[in-house]
Structure 1
Amino acid sequence: MIYHGIRLKAKAGVTQEQIEETLESMRNQGRAIPAVKSFVVGRDFGGDFDCGAVFVIEDLDGYGEYLTHPAHAHTDRVGMPLVEKFDSYDITDDDDPQMGAKIADLHRRRYQSDPELAALVSKQP
């Protein structure tokens, strides 16, 4: 299993309505992307972030599906412009020693196939 986590801190001036739109878009990812086995979206405690999400995905094929799904792209496009900082991480119980490199390759291919998204993400601190 792969547990994909995202933590976000909103820029000053971002409205609660804009944050809620982003959170709802993340919830929609959990509902709309078949590879997502379960998810949680909500407020973040214990750090310098406002909100976040964790998506549980069974394997690398599912992770690739998650990364390239239109629901995920929508969240990036509505949420990233609102973000002062974000953290994205993956935790897995798969003992493949190459798992980190394989996950990184999925991300690399995603950004390579979507230059607009790559530019949007590269602007984030």
Structure 2
Amino acid sequence: MIRHIFLGKARAEATPEQLEELCAAWRSLVGQVPGLRSLVAGRNISPRDQQYTVALVADLDDMEAWERYMQHPAHVEISQRLTSQLIRSDGRAMAQLVMEGQ
């Protein structure tokens, strides 16, 4: 299993409502993308570190499923319509971790 982690810094003009719309759109991908087991997303509520505004954690079957997820039309549409408009291009971090025994 692969765990995909995305962290994003919102653009200054992004509203809380727009960021919630983005997170809801990400969450809607479960059931649409083959191999996407689960996905949680939300706004960062940490009182200690506000470097990133939103986070996403998704579990996928394997790296092939991650590639399908990244290229899936629903994911691409969300990326173009919301992510690119609300998240700074210089404020993104991503990692994929192998989850042994999962």
Superposed pair shares fold, TM > 0.5: yes
TM-score (norm 2): 0.80
Aligned 8 A contact 1:9 1:51 in 2: yes
Offset, 1:47:
4.8
Offset, 1:66:
0.8
Aligned to 2:99: 93
2:51 partner SS = coil
Post-superposition CA distance 1:100-122 (Å, at most 9, x none): xxxxxxxxxxxxxxxxxxxxxxx
| Candidates 62, 69, 72, aligned match of 1:69 | 72
- 1:58 partner letter: D
RMSD: 1.6
Aligned to 1:81: 85
The structure that is strand-richer by fraction is 2
- 1:91 partner letter: L
Aligned to 1:16: 16
Offset, 1:17:
2.2
The question of 1:30 aligning with 2:30 is answered yes
Structure 2: give runs of 5+ residues left out of the alignment. Answer: none
1:76 partner SS = helix
The count of aligned residue pairs is 94
Q: Which runs of 4+ in 1 moved over 3 A?
A: none
TM-score (norm 1): 0.67
Structure 1: give runs of 5+ residues left out of the alignment. Answer: 95-125
Q: Which has the higher contact order (CA 8 A, sep 6+)?
A: 2
Aligned 8 A contact 1:3 1:90 in 2: yes
